[in-house]
Structures are given as structure tokens and as C-alpha cells.
Amino acid sequence: MTRRRWISAALALGAAFASGCDKLGPSRSPFFGVDVTGAKMGGELRLKDSTGKDRALADFRGKVVALFFGYTHCPDVCPTTLADMAKAMKLLESDARRVQVLFVTVDPKRDTPELLGQYVPAFDPSFLGLWGDAGATTKATKDFNIYFQERAGKDAGSYTVDHTAQSFVIDKEGRLRLVWPYGIEPAQMAGDLKVLLNS
């Protein structure tokens, strides 16, 4: 399936969540993203950071977490999303220290912890890249309903990875609250983060 179709599928998924979770209707929601409070997805996300340290979502309790699954060789969706998140952090000013952005690789064969440690903080020094072996990556993606599939390139090392393009927002208590579709504006990200930081 093409990336465009998976983006459309992600938006459709968000609409389904909205119809089931937002009983007040979209006009009453304080969020720009899709409110998925209570959705049966997510998990502890037990992976390693670029230093090899074990990480889980519980480590960031007390912060709002923005979570994105991607890979460093991604030509478009991933760098655009990380750049937009970095802009949102600047808009938050001093509140940015209470937000943690996590980037989980869906390409653990090429995205070594060392590479993630260079790539991810280049967008913002506070951003963390997370890595897992094939089993841990599969578990994390299943927990968050993330699709990813290698697409062959000209040679063994030049493949691309089709993957779900949405991002997730987890509140200070560790609860999954929002899904952001690909292309949401940095100002809208910042607005949603402020609501959760102040709730």
C-alpha cells in the first residue's frame, strides 16, 4: 500500500476514534488533534535510547509525551514531522521543558542507536530516539497500531519503509490522549500540548 493510502487510512482511523470517544462533538473539543482518550492501544514502549539505556513511557511521567514512529532514511514524512515538532517546542517557550518528544525507529537494521543519537537531536536537543531489536520493534508497533513495511530499492541497502504517518500524544499521567494526523500545524501541536500541560 502506498504512503498516501496509509495517510488516508490514519485519518480514517482518527475519525473512527473521534466518533467513539468525543461524545460532545468536534466543535466542543479543546484539541486540534483527535481525542482518543480511553482507546485500547498504547503500552509501556520498552526500548533503548541512543546510549543503550532502557527506556519506558513511565520514565517520562509528569511530562506530556509526543511520540512518532519513523526512520532516519525517510525522505519526507519523518523529517517534516520532526521539524514541525521542533517548531512547536519553540512556540511553547519555557513550557517546552515539560514536553518530551520520542522518535521510535521502524528500521532497526539501519537505524543504530548511534545514528539515532545524531539524527533525532539535530531537530531539537531534547528529542530522544528509541531503538529496539526486531521483536521489541514489532511489539511497540502492534501496541500503537502502527503499520510498517519495507519496500525494495535498487540494492539491499537502499530500501524505503512505508509506515503510518500519525503521531501520538500521551498526558502527564501516562495516558494516551491524542492522535495527530500528518500535516498538523506546529501552532496546533503547541495548542494541544498547552491544554494537556495545564490540565
Q: Which residues fall in the annotated binding site? A: 74, 78, 163
pTM: 0.85
Q: Which residues fall in the annotated binding site for Cu cation? A: 74, 78, 163
Residue 155 identity (one-letter amino acid): D
**CATH topology assigned to domain 3-197:** Glutaredoxin (3.40.30)
DSSP string, 82-100: HHHHHHHHHHHGGGGGGEE
Q: What is the per-residue pLDDT across 1-12, written as a single tens digit (0 to 9) for each?
A: 344 444 444 444
75 CB contacts (<8 Å, ≥6 apart)? 160
User: How far is residue 36's CA from residue 18's CA, in Å, rounded to a whole number?
Assistant: 7
Place of cell 509526543: 66
Q: In Å, what is the CA distance from 2 to each residue of 8, 80, 97, 128, 182?
A: 10, 18, 36, 28, 15
Is residue 148 a contact partner of residue 141, using CB atoms and an 8 Å limit? yes
User: How far is residue 175's CA from residue 67's CA, in Å, rounded to a whole number?
Assistant: 12
Q: What is the per-residue pLDDT across 84-132, written as a single tens digit (0 to 9) for each?
A: 999 999 999 999 999 999 999 999 999 999 999 999 999 999 999 999 9
